Structure 1
Amino acid sequence: MGITSAWSISAHDDTFIGELAPRLLPLIEAERNEPLARERWKSWTTVPSGSEPSVEFLDLTCGGQHVQKMYDGLTPDDPFCMLHGIWGQEDIGDRIFLSVQSKDWALSSLFHALGPARAALLPGWCGNFLLTSAEVRATLPRVEQALTFDPGERATIERRDWLYYQDEEESVLDGPLRMWRFAAESGMGLCGVSCVIH
């Protein structure tokens, strides 16, 4: 049975970020605090750059069961889901980067390209984050450090067979940084969510 995964980064005003925080932040912290997730991250940091992704790496970056609730619907009493509540906002327009992969993990492609040292500069946990406008501005220098490549680095990364985005309008190497800069310039916050689409 195949899978389809998605990773989104969307820009929102601070009011919406504040409304989303009690729903999403505890889920991200639950993912971050799982001992197995921390063990997988530590294991990944010891793998030589450019190595084929391990099963442990894929498990780390495929989206966890806690944040997955943002796609499935939180609870019967709180049916909020990102499909309608985040992605489906009428005025979302260019305020979103969305990577959807069939039979592959959307976030894994970027993290494998970056390697653990650069990936560690990104806020949140494994592609999941919720930032106010002030936090976006504060984290922009680190994100630029993680996602800015000289021509040689870019060429090396793009030669890797494992970097998937050929069918998408925007590369995973470009979309996240575009969103950070857009949000910083616009005074907006950011929401990043990685999930499996059923």
Structure 2
Amino acid sequence: MGFTSIWAISSHPDPFIAELSPRLLPAMEADRSEPHARRRWERWQQAPLPDYRTWYRSSGHTAAADDAAIRSFLDLTTPGRHVDDLCSGTVDPDFSAIENVWADRSDDNIFTSVHSKDYAVPSFFHAIGPARAALLPGWCGNFLLTSAQVRRTLPDVERALAFTDAERAAADAQDWLHYSPREECVLDGPLRLWRTAAANGLGLCGLAVHIS
């Protein structure tokens, strides 16, 4: 069965962030508090996955232990059900991310990574690795930050997403997503949005959801 997912980071004035907070923050916390979420996070932190090109052998299967670790990581980083249901309109038909969060955003105020039968956050997290991912606020690509929180977290985000040439080449090699010439890489868009929002006194909303 096919699907389309999006990971979007959009910048907004603080009053709009405050309007979103009662809806989004409880859903984000519910996904973070899922019974197995912390276990999956700690498993990945303690044992980073190898080169993704080794995950599936020519036989079509990994070793049992490897397969369990891969499944745990993918379960961790694909859209959480509480945020996903909220942003799709399943919980409240009068609210959706497309209409109520991303509408009318200019290119300067949004980063989007849209994929058919794939997800941006797993590729992004695998490419940067668990130590860098641990520096990012929120939970697996989902966050809602005021302008003050954006400024406060910017140094950690810069540490997470600043690379030497060799580090960037290694990260690019582990980002399995395919981009058109007009698409922005997951290794570039988040830091661009953070810096722009911090410079302009804006908050940020990050959402990883299904859109079909």
- Asked if these proteins are the same fold (TM beyond 0.5), I'd say yes
Indicate whether 1:144 and 2:175 are aligned.
no
Matched to 1:23, the amino acid is R
Compute the TM-score of the two structures, normalised by the length of structure 1: 0.92
1:93-132 → structure 2 map (5 Å cutoff): 93-132=107-146
Matched to 2:87, the amino acid is Y
Indicate whether 1:86 and 2:101 are aligned.
yes
Stretches of 4+ aligned residues off by more than 4 angstroms: none
1:9-40: CA deviations, max 9, x gaps? 00000000000000000001101111211111
| Identity score, percent | 54
* Map of 1:163 onto structure 2: 176
Indicate whether 1:73 and 2:89 are aligned.
yes
Work out the CA distance in 2 between the residues paired with 1:48 and 1:136. 28
Indicate whether 1:184 and 2:198 are aligned.
yes
The answer to whether the 8 A contact 2:5-2:118 is kept is yes
Matched to 1:144, the amino acid is E
The answer to whether the 8 A contact 2:88-2:210 is kept is no
Larger Rg: 2
Work out the CA distance in 2 between the residues paired with 1:15 and 1:47. 41
**C-alpha displacement of 1:146:** 0.4
Matched to 2:179, the amino acid is Q
**C-alpha displacement of 1:74:** 5.6
Compute the TM-score of the two structures, normalised by the length of structure 2: 0.87
- Residues 175 and 157 of structure 1: is their aligned pair in 2 closer, same or farther, counting only changes over 3 Å? same
- Residues 19 and 118 of structure 1: is their aligned pair in 2 closer, same or farther, counting only changes over 3 Å? same
Matched to 1:60, the amino acid is L
The answer to whether the 8 A contact 1:58-1:105 is kept is no
- Matched residue pairs, number? 195
Matched to 2:79, the amino acid is G
User: Relative to total residues, which structure has the larger helix share, 1 or 2?
Assistant: 2
Q: Which structure 2 residue ranges, 5 or more long, are not aligned?
A: 56-69
Query: Greater shift after overlay, 27-36 or 51-60?
Result: 51-60
Query: Greater shift after overlay, 41-50 or 59-68?
Result: 41-50
| Candidates 64, 70, 74, aligned match of 2:80 | 64
**C-alpha displacement of 1:187:** 0.3
* Map of 2:58 onto structure 1: none
CA RMSD across the alignment: 1.6
The answer to whether the 8 A contact 1:6-1:107 is kept is no
